[in-house]
Amino acid sequence: MAKVESAVQDHYKDDGLMERIFAFLEKIGIDPGNLTHEDLYACDQMHARGIAATREHVDYSGIAPGMRVLDLGCGIGGSSRYIRTARDCWVTGIDLTQEFIDVARELTERCGLGDGIEYFQANALDMPFEDASFDHVWSHNVTMNIEDKAGLVTEIARILKPGGRFSCSEIEQGPSGDPFYPLPWASEPTFSFLVTPDEMCALQSAGGLRVVEQIDLNEANLAFFREGRERAKSGKPPQNINPLAFKSRDDFLERVRNAGKSAEEGRLVEQLIIAEKS
Ligand SMILES: C[S@@+](CC[C@H](N)C(=O)[O-])C[C@H]1O[C@@H](n2cnc3c(N)ncnc32)[C@H](O)[C@@H]1O
User: Does residue 50's CB lie within 6 angstroms of at least one atom of ligand 1?
Assistant: no
Kindly state the percentage of the chain with pLDDT values over 90.
89
Is residue 277 within 8 A of residue 163, CB to CB? The reply is yes
Q: Which atom of ligand 1 is nearest to the CA of 46?
A: 9
CB neighbour burial string for 63-79, b if at least 16 within 10 angstroms, e if fewer: beeebebbbbbbbbbbb
Give residue 91's region: left, alpha or beta (phi > 0; psi -120 to 50): beta
- Over residues 101-123, the pLDDT tens digits come to 999 999 999 999 999 999 999 99
Measured in Å, residue 123 CA sits from the centre of ligand 1 at: 10
Measured in Å, residue 139 CA sits from the centre of ligand 1 at: 8
Where does the pLDDT of residue 44 fall: very low under 50, low under 70, confident under 90, or very high at 90 and above? very high
User: Does residue 125's CB lie within 6 angstroms of at least one atom of ligand 1?
Assistant: yes
248: pLDDT strictly greater than 80 = no
- Over residues 47-81, the pLDDT tens digits come to 999 999 999 999 999 999 999 999 999 999 999 99
Which residue's CA is the closest to the ligand 1 atom numbered 16? 145
User: Does residue 123's CB lie within 6 angstroms of at least one atom of ligand 1?
Assistant: yes
1: pLDDT strictly greater than 70 = no
The structural domains of the chain, with segments of one domain joined by +, span 9-277
Is residue 100 within 8 A of residue 12, CB to CB? The reply is yes
Give 223's Cβ-side CA count (13 Å radius).
7
Average pLDDT over all residues of the chain: 95
User: Does residue 45's CB lie within 6 angstroms of at least one atom of ligand 1?
Assistant: yes
Q: Which atom of ligand 1 is nearest to the CA of 139?
A: 6
- Over residues 181-213, the pLDDT tens digits come to 999 999 999 999 999 999 999 999 999 999 999
Measured in Å, residue 234 CA sits from the centre of ligand 1 at: 32
Could you tell me the CATH superfamily of domain 9-277? Vaccinia Virus protein VP39 (3.40.50.150)
Is residue 47 within 8 A of residue 169, CB to CB? The reply is yes
User: Does residue 40's CB lie within 6 angstroms of at least one atom of ligand 1?
Assistant: no
User: Does residue 41's CB lie within 6 angstroms of at least one atom of ligand 1?
Assistant: no
